[in-house]
Amino acid sequence: MSSEIPQFTVNIICPKCSALGVVVWEKDGAQRALVSLSKGFYERLSRKVPYPIELVCHECGTAQAEDDGL
């Protein structure tokens, strides 16, 4: 029996400058965790409730909730 947690990738696009990136997530039941984020984006604590994490574009600084596009 394998205990590996399944991973999946999601393409992201900056809503302001259209920069492209890829997010890799692990999903275990209802829980999801960020594994990696491609160059051009970084994560930070959100300034908006209820999202805990924002993905931020290095190019223009625009933030989007981690759930956007999922």
9-63 pLDDT, tens digit per residue, is 999 999 999 999 999 999 888 888 889 999 999 999 887 777 688 999 999 999 9
State the virtual CA torsion across 33, 39, 45, 50 in degrees, nearest 10: -60
Spatial separation of the C-alpha atoms in residues 50 and 60, rounded to whole Å: 23
Which pLDDT value is given to residue 51?
67
Asked if 35 and 24 count as a contact pair (C-beta separation under 8 A), the reply is: yes
The neighbouring-strand residues paired with 9 are 24
The confidence score (pLDDT) of residue 33 equals 86
pTM for this predicted structure: 0.77
Looking at residue 2, its pLDDT comes to: 57
How far is it, in rounded angstroms, from Cα 19 to Cα 39?
A: 10
